[in-house]
Amino acid sequence: MIKTDIIIIGAGPVGLFTIFEAGLMKLHCHVIDAIPQIGGQLKEIYPKKPIYDIPGFPSVLAGDLIDNLEQQVAPFQPGFTLGERAETIEKQEDGSFVVTTIEGTEHHAPTVIIAGGLGSFEPRKPIVDGLTNFEKKGIEYMVREPETFLNKKVFISGGGDSALDWAVYIAENSTVPVGLVHRSDMFRAHKDSVEKVYQLQNEGKIDLYTHAEINKVNGNETLESIELHQKNRAPKTIDVDYWLPLFGLSPKLGPIGNWGLDIEKNAIKVNHALDYETNIPGVFAVGDVNTYPGKLKLILCGFHEATLAVQTCYKIINPDKKFTMKYTTVQGVKGFEKVL
Ligand SMILES: Cc1cc2nc3c(=O)[nH]c(=O)nc-3n(C[C@H](O)[C@H](O)[C@H](O)COP(=O)(O)OP(=O)(O)OC[C@H]3O[C@@H](n4cnc5c(N)ncnc54)[C@H](O)[C@@H]3O)c2cc1C
């Protein structure tokens, strides 16, 4: 049984920053994440995209922000259970909690902070013959390492921000034109991205196919070709190295949805006037996973929520002590000698 002061579910930016704020209050944290790496959406979906609204950073790559957070929390020696989804939570007689993962790893703490973001990442997959044969063998639903796709024959499907942004990025950096396939000629992506796509089409860097779909994939060990069906045209087989169906991720709260928490539209309702506590005393929800009137799913809002949530965790853990907040400029960052 892993014992700590706060069990954090989710190693996204908000879960990571929670470790820092808890550490300043001398509280130890242990973080559980379903995926084998830290960073949440920033590492999983858009590690190479610049973020412009983190205070003090005119621009920071999502992946770099996570690396910085990892460095920032290191003095507080957090524990991690990675690659294991938190499945159950059980309240103990003394009011503390045991959170158990799908692998059966048990964690015990007086408080729990859920920073589960969108929940488990489930890409929306198209219905295409042979699709599963080539997943990770030429078919990818997320762009993790954009360099992989440069100077290769790449087709992207989708009409949203992710599809267009990656089509533009690859087209601008690759020597080979990128195919972009969309089932209509109306795009959901940002206007600037749509304009950029048309510009790159004129420059011969994007082959745009509207009113079109990919209906079949072929290959042996790996993907070799796709079948493109375009309205009023004969179907066409095109040789490719990669096909990226980027139809977005469907948010799935997963097991957290069965924990007896108040859920509204796939998010956990919290006491936003005070400390982001859920309807279960001692269990808090911060970042993208929570909801309250006026909620904004932004990283900086999650940081603020985490800062307030740990204040109440401190009071639960130290009912007889009073914590006096001191600026970090005054108290510095005094890390822990050893893991709890
Ligand atoms: C393309 C894109 C661009 C964006 N740009 C910006 C931007 O410019 N500025 C901005 O502020 N925000 C931006 N966002 C939003 C931002 O990414 C989110 O607000 C942020 O990731 C929320 O952080 P989080 O820690 O709450 O959750 P997440 O980053 O979603 O991390 C949650 C983690 O919890 C884990 N998890 C979930 N359920 C379980 C479970 N049961 N057990 C174990 N682990 C679990 C998941 O695996 C995940 O790693 C963008 C989002 C996208 C998709």
Could you tell me the residue ranges of all domains in the chain? 2-121+250-331, 125-247
CA pair distance 153, 228, nearest whole angstrom: 14
What mean pLDDT do residues 235-253 have? 90
Kindly report, residue by residue over 203-231, the tens digit of the pLDDT: 999 999 999 999 999 999 999 999 999 99
Residues near ligand 1 with C-beta < 6 Å? 9-15, 32-35, 40-42, 45-46, 51, 53, 85-86, 115-120, 254-256, 287-289, 297-300, 302
Burial class (CB in 10 A: 0-12, 13-18, 19+), 224: middle
Confidence at residue 282, expressed as pLDDT on a 0 to 100 scale? 97
Residue of 107, 270, 299 to test ligand 1 pocket, by largest number of atoms within 8 Å of CB: 299
CA of 299 to the centre of ligand 1 (A): 8
The more confident residue out of 326 and 137 is 137
CA of 42 to the centre of ligand 1 (A): 6
The radius of gyration of the chain from alpha carbons, rounded to an integer in Å, stands at 23
**Whose CA is closest to atom 1 on ligand 1?**
46
Predicted confidence (pLDDT) at residue 119 exceeds the cutoff of 90: no
Predicted confidence (pLDDT) at residue 245 exceeds the cutoff of 80: yes
**β-sheet bridge partners, residue 157:** 181, 245
Kindly report, residue by residue over 30-63, the tens digit of the pLDDT: 999 988 789 999 988 888 889 999 999 999 999 9
Confidence at residue 48, expressed as pLDDT on a 0 to 100 scale? 82
Confidence at residue 45, expressed as pLDDT on a 0 to 100 scale? 81
What's the pLDDT band for 195 if we cut at 50, 70, 90?
very high
317: closest CA among 79, 106, 4? 4
CA pair distance 210, 204, nearest whole angstrom: 16
Confidence at residue 314, expressed as pLDDT on a 0 to 100 scale? 97
- What secondary structure, in 3-state letters, does 110-161 show? CEEEECCCCEEEEECCCCCECHHHHECCCECCCCCCHHHHCCCCEEEECCCH
335: left (phi over 0), alpha (psi -120 to 50) or beta: beta
Residue-averaged pLDDT of the chain: 94
What mean pLDDT do residues 279-306 have? 97
CA of 117 to the centre of ligand 1 (A): 5
Predicted confidence (pLDDT) at residue 288 exceeds the cutoff of 90: yes
Q: For residue 118, which atom of ligand 1 is closest to its CA?
A: 30
Confidence at residue 161, expressed as pLDDT on a 0 to 100 scale? 84
Tell me how crowded residue 113 is: count the other CB atoms within 10 A of its CB. 32
Mean pLDDT is lowest, of 97-106, 140-149, 285-294, for 140-149
CA of 162 to the centre of ligand 1 (A): 15
Q: For residue 1, give both structure tokens.
A: 């049984």
Confidence at residue 337, expressed as pLDDT on a 0 to 100 scale? 78
Q: Which residues contact 271 (CB under 8 A, 6 or more apart)?
A: 277, 278, 292
4: closest CA among 20, 35, 26? 26
**β-sheet bridge partners, residue 57:** 54
CB 42 within 8 A of CB 66: yes
Confidence at residue 338, expressed as pLDDT on a 0 to 100 scale? 67
Note whether 2-121+250-331 and 125-247 share their fold: yes
Tell me how crowded residue 88 is: count the other CB atoms within 10 A of its CB. 13
CA of 302 to the centre of ligand 1 (A): 10
Residue of 29, 41, 286 to test ligand 1 pocket, by largest number of atoms within 8 Å of CB: 41
CATH of 125-247, one of 3.30.413.10, 3.40.50.410, 3.50.50.60, 3.90.1150.10: 3.50.50.60
CA pair distance 166, 177, nearest whole angstrom: 13
Q: For residue 178, give both structure tokens.
A: 């990128």
**Phi, psi at 206, each rounded to 5°:** -125, 130
Confidence at residue 251, expressed as pLDDT on a 0 to 100 scale? 66
CA of 298 to the centre of ligand 1 (A): 9
The more confident residue out of 339 and 186 is 186
Element (H, E) at 303: helix 299-317
Confidence at residue 155, expressed as pLDDT on a 0 to 100 scale? 98
Provide the whole-model pTM. 0.75
154: left (phi over 0), alpha (psi -120 to 50) or beta: beta
Q: For residue 38, which atom of ligand 1 is closest to its CA?
A: 49
**CATH number of the domain at 2-121+250-331, please?**
3.50.50.60
Predicted confidence (pLDDT) at residue 17 exceeds the cutoff of 90: yes
Predicted confidence (pLDDT) at residue 315 exceeds the cutoff of 80: yes
CA of 249 to the centre of ligand 1 (A): 12
Q: For residue 254, which atom of ligand 1 is closest to its CA?
A: 41
CA of 40 to the centre of ligand 1 (A): 5
CA pair distance 40, 291, nearest whole angstrom: 18
Confidence at residue 129, expressed as pLDDT on a 0 to 100 scale? 85
**Whose CA is closest to atom 26 on ligand 1?**
287
